[in-house]
């Protein structure tokens, strides 16, 4: 139990920022939803910790849990409450009171990637996070060749989005 606890604390320390950032990007900059989602990721991490096999690195493993939790979260919301999601498309977060310039830049980033589909959003966030294509492929579960094609298409979409912004 104490081994599990110390490993969890280490994973939490090492990957907290990455998880929060992925969740924030996935939730299009909505801080509250991102916080809930990040919490859910670590709850799932704790639950899955006993079954961790050393077949992948901790990093890839956490990315997998993050991606699956994000997809489950959006699936649950859409199945349970369609209106909430429709509203979410519109509400792409306004910067909170502390409207700093950097905050606005972050929001414009979330706004741009927020226009992609959920899966594409997750893939491009891993690219932005500079994860190897091999690792991204092992998180998503498709071969590297298909992933490259996918990333190329996402980049093209993103370029269009940025041009229209």
Partner 1 sequence: MTDDLNDLKNKWQGAKKSQSSQSMDVQEIMTLSKKKMKSAIVMHLKNIIILSITLVVLFLFFKYVAPLQEVLSQIGIALMIGGLVVRILIEFYSIYLSYQIDMSDTAMQNSNSSLEFFKFRKTIHGSVMYTILGLYTLGFYALTPEFSLYFSTIMMVLIDGSYLVIAVIVGYFINVGIKKEMKYLQELLTIQNDLHT
Q: Which residues here bind partner 1, judged by CB under 8 A?
A: 5, 8-9, 12-13, 16-18, 20-21, 24-25, 35, 38-39, 42-44, 46-48, 51-52, 61, 64-65, 67-69, 71-72, 74-75, 78-80, 102, 105-106, 108-109, 112-113, 117-120, 122, 125, 127-130, 138-142, 150, 155-156, 158-159, 162
Burial class (CB in 10 A: 0-12, 13-18, 19+), 118: middle
Closest to partner 1 by CB, 2 or 91:
2
**Treating both helix axes as pointing N-terminal to C-terminal, what angle do 2-26 and 58-80 enclose, rounded to 10 degrees?**
60
Put residue 141 in one of left, alpha, beta given phi > 0 → left and psi -120 to 50 → alpha. left
**Least Å distance between CB 60 and partner 1?**
9
Closest to partner 1 by CB, 13 or 90:
13
**Least Å distance between CB 147 and partner 1?**
11
**Least Å distance between CB 65 and partner 1?**
5
**Least Å distance between CB 47 and partner 1?**
6
Report helix, strand or coil for 73.
helix
Token output for 118:
């959920």
* Angstrom distance (rounded) from CA 67 to CA 79: 18
């Amino acid at each position: 139990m104490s081994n599990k606890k110390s490993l969890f604390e280490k994973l939490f320390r090492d990957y907290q920022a990455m998880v929060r950032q992925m969740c924030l990007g996935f939730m299009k900059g909505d801080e509250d939803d991102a916080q809930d989602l990040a919490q859910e990721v670590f709850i799932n991490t704790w639950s899955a910790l006993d079954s961790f096999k050393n077949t992948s690195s901790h990093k890839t493993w956490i990315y997998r849990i993050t991606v699956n939790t994000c997809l489950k979260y959006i699936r649950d919301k859409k199945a349970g409450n369609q209106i909430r999601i429709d509203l979410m498309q519109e509400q792409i977060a306004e910067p909170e009171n502390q409207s700093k310039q950097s905050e606005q830049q972050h929001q414009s980033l979330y706004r741009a990637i927020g226009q992609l589909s959920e899966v594409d959003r997750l893939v491009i966030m891993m690219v932005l996070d500079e994860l190897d294509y091999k690792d991204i492929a092992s998180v998503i579960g498709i071969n590297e060749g298909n992933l490259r094609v996918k990333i190329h298409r996402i980049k093209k979409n993103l370029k269009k989005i940025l041009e229209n912004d």
